[in-house]
């Protein structure tokens, strides 16, 4: 049986390298061919070089030749569901457009919404 996108995000979370914040996040993005690419957050002592799980998943997928994304799941151990940060919203918009996003936590809560709901009036190549 194939793992769900949410299960893949929860599993990817366990690979996070977060020695400073202890905030483990996993993401799983599905491409247009139905293949799932995962990512986890990877921290650095100089926080500015830290990468979020969503960006790792997108960049990993792109580096593996994937194009066109249909949905992404983001998993974190928080009481309140954690949406992508601003940088991740921009990357998601750039590479996936108004993609479906499912937020999930370890308490079984989830919410699904479109990126445009979180990122209205996004900047993209149409402004260049």
Active-site residue set: 54
**Can you tell me the distance from the alpha carbon of 39 to that of 61, in angstroms, rounded to the nearest whole number?**
9
Which residue(s) pair with 102 in the sheet? 73, 112
The closest alpha carbon to 100, from 112, 110, 91, 92, belongs to 112
Q: What is the largest CA-CA distance in the chain?
A: 45
Report the relative pairing of strands 100-105 and 110-114 from DSSP bridges: antiparallel
- Sheet of 69-76: strands edge to edge? 36-40, 25-31, 69-76, 100-105, 110-114
């Amino acid at each position: 049986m194939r793992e769900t996108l949410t299960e893949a995000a929860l599993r990817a979370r366990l690979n996070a390298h977060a020695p400073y914040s202890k905030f483990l996040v996993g993401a799983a993005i599905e491409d247009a061919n139905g293949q799932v690419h995962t990512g986890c957050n990877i921290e650095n002592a100089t926080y500015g070089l830290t990468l979020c799980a969503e960006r790792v998943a997108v960049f990993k997928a792109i580096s593996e030749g994937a194009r066109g994304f249909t949905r992404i799941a983001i998993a974190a151990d928080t009481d309140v569901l954690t949406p992508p940060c601003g940088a991740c919203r921009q990357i998601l918009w750039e590479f996936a457009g108004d993609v479906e996003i499912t937020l999930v936590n370890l308490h079984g809560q989830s919410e699904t919404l479109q990126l445009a709901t979180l990122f209205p009036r996004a900047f993209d190549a149409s402004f260049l």
